[in-house]
Structure formats: C-alpha cells, structure tokens
C-alpha cells in the first residue's frame, strides 16, 4: 500500500468512516465510468461491449475468494441470490439464522410459509448447527456492529451435520480473507468494501450445489452463449454457475472491474492488516479491548452532538456509532474520532 498514492486515488476520503454503508470509488473506477457515460451519451455504446467488464469482474472476484471462475454468478443484489437459494429449498426445510440478521439474508426465507426459520444468538450459531437443519444462513461480518462469525466452526459443524451453508460476505469481502471453496453458497454485494457502484453482486456456488439450486430468474444472460440465447426454445442454460447470472447493469460493472483490480493489486491480507490495525488503534485510544474487525461499534456518549461530528462521516446503527476503517483511512481519522468522543 505504501507504493500507492491513496490520496490521489481517493481525494475525498479524509474523515470517511462509513464504508460499511457505502464504499468510496477509486479514481480509475470514476474515470472508467465517466468515459463509459460519454460513449453512451454519444450514441457509440454497444451492449456486447460491456461484456469485458463483467468477465473481468467475475474473474477478479473468483480470485479474491479462492474459487474457480466457473463457480461465480453475477447479479445486482444480494437478496435476489438469497431468494434463489430460499426458493430452492424443499417444503419442510429448516433454516438456521442469527438473531438480528440483516433482512436481505432473512426475509427471502421468511416469505416461505412451508419452511421453518430458527433464529438463535449470534454466539450460539455453531452449537445449534445439527442434523435436521437444512441450511444455515448468516452474515460473515455483521452489519450492525461488525462482529465476525466463526466461519471455520460454521463450515465444520455444517459438514458434520449435512447442513448447507449460505454466507453473506457483503461486509467482509474486500478486507477479510475468505476461502469460499468450503462454503456452499457465498453472496456479496460489491458496493461496500469492494468499492464498486451499487448494482453489482456475486454468488459463488460449490459444484455439489449446482443441481440443487433452481435458476428461477434465468434469462438470456444465463445461457451457455448469452448472445445466442436471446430468442426461443429450447432451454440452453450455462453448465457452470453462470446459469444463475442476471442480466448485468452495464455501467455498474464498468466501475466494478477497476475497483476489484485495485483490491487485488493491494491484496486482501495487506488491507486486513491496515483496516483492523486502524480499528484497534481507535479501540486502544478509547480504552476498548482489541478486536478482529475493521468495524467498530461504540455506544453514543451523553454529550453526543451530531453537529459536532462533521469532521467524520459514519453511521448510527442499533443506537450505536458505527465506524468502519478501510484502505483509504489513516491514523489521522483515528485522531478525529478521539477528538470527537474524548479519550
């Protein structure tokens, strides 16, 4: 990271501690989008020309989470992928979730009245994965307070009990090293820690799950050869996870490819050390115990005045201040928080 001019890549990052809501786009993504808009406005855009950004983004994401490119589907949002998994469960299935789970992971299961959804405390999730649980669905990093799930424990318990795993990595992918090869279904929105425009999302599917998921949203882009799948029968879906693709929001993918390329160039391990290091520096300055997350949740002090918080940009979740540190943050941002909250 020392070799990159992050101030030039992210000129508006000073005091920005809100990546858990919306990541900042790097300069190359902004430039690529601006050029694409000019081409579109000039009448020179061709739909097939956007395929390059989708192909590159799929490949980069596969590399970031340690799976082959044939295991990756592309779409626009997490809930659509979770809904596909929920719709594919048999009647009578039992789904295990954590209390207070983000609703894009929870609602797609709750809308089915022929399956059972059990909710348990986040810390008890591993011990409640047992035979009879069809699927466990959980956020790898919680949106409200940044707690990190015991992924190794979840996957081991699920393997032992014959339970499928669905992991939402939206708040993890980009700063937390992930090996998706041990996860049945991983979903991730790219507009937070992957620094991409809203409108791009990924799903990885283990080979054994390909036949168990019904591609209920299948359209032309899910075809083995998309541009030869735009009219008429027979059904000719891709043999890989591309059968779950949704037609891409083209301009969003134009911005996603350079953003993911930057993440890969820096390396998730290096970003993890940077992000968690800053979060722990902030914890130490505020007399808090060190943690393993880039997200820090702090009780709002009695003297909290939102008007005084203009030096930082953060969010309030569940009545607490949520701070999220990413690659464009520096120790100056820690100082801003300490100045605001007091030592």
CATH fold, domain 6-25+268-341, is: 3.90.1150
Q: What is the pLDDT of residue 303?
A: 66
pTM of the model: 0.95
- Picking from 252, 176, 209, the residue whose alpha carbon sits closest to that of residue 85 is 209
What does DSSP say about strands 135-139 and 94-98: parallel, antiparallel, or unpaired?
parallel
- Provide the Cα torsion 243, 188, 29, 334; round to 10°: -170
First to last CA, the chain: 29
Please give the Cα distance from 237 to 251 (Å, whole number).
Answer: 25
pLDDT tens digits, one per residue of 181-237: 999 999 999 999 999 999 999 999 999 999 999 999 999 999 999 999 999 999 999
Q: What is the pLDDT of residue 74?
A: 98
Domain with CATH 3.90.1150.10 in the chain: 6-25+268-341
In CATH, the number for domain 47-265 is 3.40.640.10
Q: What is the pLDDT of residue 309?
A: 66
Scored b (16 or more CB within 10 A) or e, 120-138 reads: bebeebbeebeeebbbbbb
Q: What is the pLDDT of residue 328?
A: 96
Residues of the chain with pLDDT under 50: none
Q: What is the pLDDT of residue 1?
A: 64
Please say whether the beta carbons of 179 and 187 come within 8 A.
no
Please give the Cα distance from 22 to 27 (Å, whole number).
Answer: 16
Q: What is the pLDDT of residue 341?
A: 82
- Picking from 272, 325, 320, 280, the residue whose alpha carbon sits closest to that of residue 297 is 320
- Provide the Cα torsion 64, 70, 71, 72; round to 10°: 60
Q: What is the pLDDT of residue 6?
A: 82
Q: What is the pLDDT of residue 3?
A: 67
Q: What is the pLDDT of residue 307?
A: 65
Domain with CATH 3.40.640.10 in the chain: 47-265
């Amino acid at each position: 990271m020392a070799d990159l001019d992050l101030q030039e890549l992210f000129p508006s990052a000073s005091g920005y501690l809100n990546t858990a809501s919306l990541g900042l786009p790097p300069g190359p993504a902004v430039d690529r989008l601006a050029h694409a808009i000019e081409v579109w406005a000039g009448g020179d855009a061709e739909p097939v020309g956007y395929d390059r950004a989708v192909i590159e983004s799929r490949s980069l994401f596969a590399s970031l989470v340690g799976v082959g490119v044939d295991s990756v589907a592309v779409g626009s949002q997490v809930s659509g992928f979770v809904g596909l998994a929920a719709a594919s469960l048999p009647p009578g299935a039992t789904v295990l979730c954590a209390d207070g789970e983000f609703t894009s992971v929870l609602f797609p299961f709750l809308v089915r009245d022929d399956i059972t959804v059990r909710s348990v405390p986040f810390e008890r999730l591993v011990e409640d994965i047992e035979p009879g649980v069809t699927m466990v669905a959980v956020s790898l990093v919680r949106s409200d307070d940044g707690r990190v799930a015991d992924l190794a424990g979840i996957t081991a318990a699920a393997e032992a009990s014959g339970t499928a795993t669905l992991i939402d990595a939206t708040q993890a992918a980009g700063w937390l090293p992930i090996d998706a090869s041990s996860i049945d279904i991983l979903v991730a929105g790219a507009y937070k820690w992957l620094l991409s425009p809203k409108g791009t999302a990924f799903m990885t599917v283990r080979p054994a799950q390909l036949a168990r998921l019904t591609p209920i949203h299948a359209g032309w882009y899910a075809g083995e050869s998309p541009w030869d799948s735009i009219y008429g029968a027979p059904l000719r879906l891709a043999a890989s996870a591309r059968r779950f693709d949704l037609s891409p929001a083209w301009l969003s993918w134009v911005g996603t490819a350079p953003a993911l390329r930057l993440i890969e160039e820096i390396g998730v391990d290096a970003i993890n050390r940077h992000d968690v290091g800053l979060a722990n520096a902030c914890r130490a300055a505020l007399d808090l115990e060190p943690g393993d997350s880039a997200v820090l949740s702090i009780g709002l002090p009695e003297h909290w005045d939102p008007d005084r918080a203009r030096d930082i940009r953060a969010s309030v979740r569940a009545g607490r201040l949520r701070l999220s540190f990413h690659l464009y943050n520096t120790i100056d941002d820690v100082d801003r928080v300490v100045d605001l909250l007091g030592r």
